[in-house]
Structure 1
């Protein structure tokens, strides 16, 4: 089995790493945490010019014709750099969903817009923050050719800046919790829609979005009415693996920072990396980082190939989510007191890792999925 990247993927990785090293310094990351927008429009435009925003879309719809595996390579570098941007909600959550479920007209209208820099987001979770169909209680009622939506969605990334929102609501009662859910795409700037930015550990611009009798045309349903959950399940798979890729990049950077520090920090007249305890910490970090990477890239390949991967997605998200915690905690121990200060870069990875563990299902959620796939 050849686990190496293709030449194009290696070039993409190098280009992304070099670009982000110059454009996304840790000082920039800190500035964006304090910025009300949470991202730089200038940097976003440069990413569009590089073709990143349309990477996984067909060339016929203004994209780069890449595969999901190519997207994972790019996302790993974004995680390594702590890039603050609406890339995941726009390209992964929204773009791939439109590509999967949209009709030709919707694809032609929205995919080039995403590639060009329009910000899209996805409103899914509600008051319990769960990622299952039973948690969706918001209802949408049809009046002639328009649906009326009222309700609240939580943890909607970059909703305060989005041009369009993908929204899941219950349009009819089905024989199961999964039936009767419909997926809409709506103008985020229209009447009846408001949002507030939530305070989160990662300062990642998650929003609460309120819908008060917001109107959406019947023609703006994505996919078949009442069968939106089948599409959302695929979206959640892509999103979970995308978040795993970011965590892999973050863990790799924490490992490199810690090894470099262990070589430079002198205590008792010798580098601390010469002590067995520190060596074992670094070894355990590497074991976790490589395990994270192989699980993530295996499932990315499965999804890119159109193969079933429900169990593998759950395995990756459960393992990677816990492993990022172990890696960063060991990094903190190697750095000692300085690693716990707000001025040190390590805390940026710790906070983002904690948020990533919960997004798109935590380890407990995905272990239940694995058990179900085992017939238990």
Structure 2
């Protein structure tokens, strides 16, 4: 396996970073620039992960992940009518995968999505937003909602909840890589410039060791992400690899987020400070679609079957 980024990945990442650094309307500009392509098949798993890493670095609250997962599902499994109706530039789509007694909860981009892919049993249905009574959910960051679902919409033939969960989970890992990479960079820079007792705090052994551990954790998130992404891009089974990547995104992401806050001291708990944005993003991503323990259980079940 060669995890060197392709030219397309590098160009997409650079364009995404440029837009996020300069745009007041990032979603519209991501669509206009082609980062969100009209044809979902134009970019594969590796390219989408490269974009998500940049979104994580900027902690950008754009509906890229749910839209691209839903759009790629419709491109592969949707009927001709479903594709022609919903695969249009700028259309925001989402996925409703978390079930709580018949209610779909923490549905991403709930207030802006025009349609949802909703899991029910072993099937997935395409449901227009207008057919649902969506209630907003208050999050520390992001846009989510919930709705009751007992059926309805159009069946997406051949599409399974596992297909969606695998790709959405992988996208969360890519986003978490960006979050932790940038959080570590900010923390290392702070440790170089913050002086206590006439020395930069990064020169103290305990702080240096903490940052070294965070560096290793970020490297583990990166390695397991690209391993899982490569297997999916090659059409190989990636059940174990995605669970491993999500474990590291959750477990190591937790440690990196807390390191960033602790090294920053009092400023780390200031909600107006950048580091707090990265802390909350890392914590939300840690638990979305299953935290570290849930991934170990999933990995254990997969290994038992092999």
Give the C-alpha shift of residue 8 in structure 1.
Answer: 2.4
Q: Distance in 2 between matches of 1:209 and 1:341?
A: 33
Where do residues 1-376 of structure 1 align in structure 2 (5 Å cutoff)? Answer: 1-23=1-23, 42-54=25-37, 57-58=40-41, 65-92=42-69, 94-111=70-87, 113=88, 116-127=89-100, 138=102, 152-170=103-121, 181-190=122-131, 193-200=132-139, 202-211=140-149, 216=153, 220-224=154-158, 231-375=160-304
Q: TM-score, normalised by structure 1?
A: 0.77
CA contact (8 A) 1:288 1:327 kept: yes
Q: Considering fraction of residues, name the structure with more helix.
A: 2
Question: What is the rounded CA distance, in whole Å, between the counterparts of 1:343 and 1:184 in structure 2?
Answer: 40
TM-superposed CA distance for 1:106, in Å, is: 2.3
Larger deviation: 287-296 or 3-12?
3-12
**Runs of 5+ unmatched residues, structure 2:** none
Count of aligned pairs between the two proteins: 305
State the secondary structure of the residue aligned to 2:98: coil
Question: Once the two structures are superposed, what CA deviation does each residue of 1:315-338 show, in whole Å capped at 9, x if it has no partner?
Answer: 110111111110111111211111
CA distance, structure 1, for counterparts of residue 228 and residue 187 of structure 2: 28
Residues 188, 356 of structure 1: CA spacing in aligned structure 2 closer, same or farther, 3 A cutoff? same
Matches of 2:39 and 2:5 in 1, distance apart? 17
Decide whether the 8 Å contact of 2:109 with 2:144 is kept in 1: yes
Matched residue SS, 2:106: strand
For the pair shown, the structure with the greater C-alpha radius of gyration is: 1
* Cα-to-partner distance string for 1:37-63 (whole Å, 9 max, x where unaligned): xxxxx43221111112227713xxxxx
Kindly indicate whether the alpha-carbon contact (under 8 Å) linking 2:19 and 2:29 is maintained by their aligned counterparts in 1. no
Deviates more, 1:155-164 or 1:304-313: 155-164
User: Any idea what the Cα deviations from partners look like across 1:240-287, whole Å, max 9, x if unmatched?
Assistant: 110000100010101110111111111111111111111111111111
What TM-score, normalized by structure 2, do the two folds share?
A: 0.93
Aligned CA-pair RMSD: 1.9
Task: Specify whether residues 70 and 56 from structure 1 end up closer, same or farther in structure 2 by C-alpha distance, changes over 3 A only.
Answer: farther
Are 1:197 and 1:207, in contact at CA under 8 Å, matched by a contact in 2?
yes
Unmatched segments (≥5 aa) in structure 1 = 25-41, 59-64, 128-136, 139-151, 171-180
Mapped contact 2:97–2:165 kept (Cα < 8 A): no
Deviations 1:101-143 (A, max 9, x none): 21333223322x2xx111111222222xxxxxxxxx64xxxxx
Structure 1 residue matching 2:40: 3-state secondary structure: coil
Structure 1's consecutive aligned runs of 4 or more residues displaced over 3 angstroms after TM superposition are 213-216
